[in-house]
Structure 1
């Protein structure tokens, strides 16, 4: 199997490629580079690398104490099927600064089986609530 390196060093993240791959995803449609700059700056980000080349990305929005929301987990299309997504998720949930986090959540329409391997379950408890709205116009 190809050796995949996971790094939380944000200086290694290829911002342009990462932003472009996310914008091409079903959930990233309509996002801009500016939105990604702000989102990444306010998240715990990590990249996946093969031979020094970035091949994946994920982030967690977190308070580093109780809660973390997993977001933008993506593997470059030409590198899918190598277990990179699993390595990204494992690295996030094992991060030492998230050791006290008891509530991880995420949203997906197509990767349930990936997350179920780590203990994520579809919420049907009647407690999870969501507010969806259009973003405010930027001036």
Structure 2
């Protein structure tokens, strides 16, 4: 699917994802993905429902859902290039993603973020009503080189 606004396009076509640009944006403009190796980002993109914001053929924004395509979706890696922020593109990206037939049919969506809470709240996200039901396991050594 594609959505259009002014000179921008949002596409769910994985072939339009410029992985090198996504890696650069995630490494240079986020706090959460700086240590993730490019090959892991590439693999994550291959296994996700991806959305790109393009100006012409240039990728200027990206986000993805990890989903089972039936019940649950996890929003991940929402990024707009710093040169294009302040134009409402993040809100538009989220609106398009949430309207996508696959995502709009899911029972539960989640995300984790330390910032931009007001952006996500505008899209219906809220703090968990039962945070005591949520657990996580974090592997701090996930991207360390094996030393044999």
Structure 1, 76-85 or 119-128: larger mean CA deviation: 119-128
Indicate the SS of the match to 2:133.
coil
Indicate the SS of the match to 1:113.
helix
Match of residue 79 from structure 2 = 74
TM-score after normalising by structure 1:
0.91
TM-fit CA distance, 1:130: 1.4
TM-fit CA distance, 1:128: 1.7
Distance 1:58 1:10 in 2: 11
Q: Which residue, 21, 38, 42 being the options, matches 1:37?
A: 42
Q: Which residue, 127, 130, 136 being the options, matches 1:130?
A: 136
Matched-pair contact (CA < 8 Å) for 1:66–1:101? yes
Q: 1:49 to 1:136 in 2, by over 3 A?
A: closer
Distance 2:50 2:111 in 1: 15
Q: Which residue, 116, 129, 139 being the options, matches 1:111?
A: 116
Q: Flag structure 2 segments of 5+ consecutive residues without an equivalent.
A: none
Distance 1:119 1:39 in 2: 25
Q: Flag structure 1 segments of 5+ consecutive residues without an equivalent.
A: none
TM-fit CA distance, 1:91: 1.7
Q: Which residue, 59, 65, 80 being the options, matches 2:64?
A: 59
CA RMSD of aligned residues (A): 1.7
Q: Which residue, 9, 12, 16 being the options, matches 1:8?
A: 12
Matched-pair contact (CA < 8 Å) for 1:66–1:103? yes
Matched-pair contact (CA < 8 Å) for 1:44–1:59? yes
Indicate the SS of the match to 2:94.
helix
Match of residue 21 from structure 2 = 17
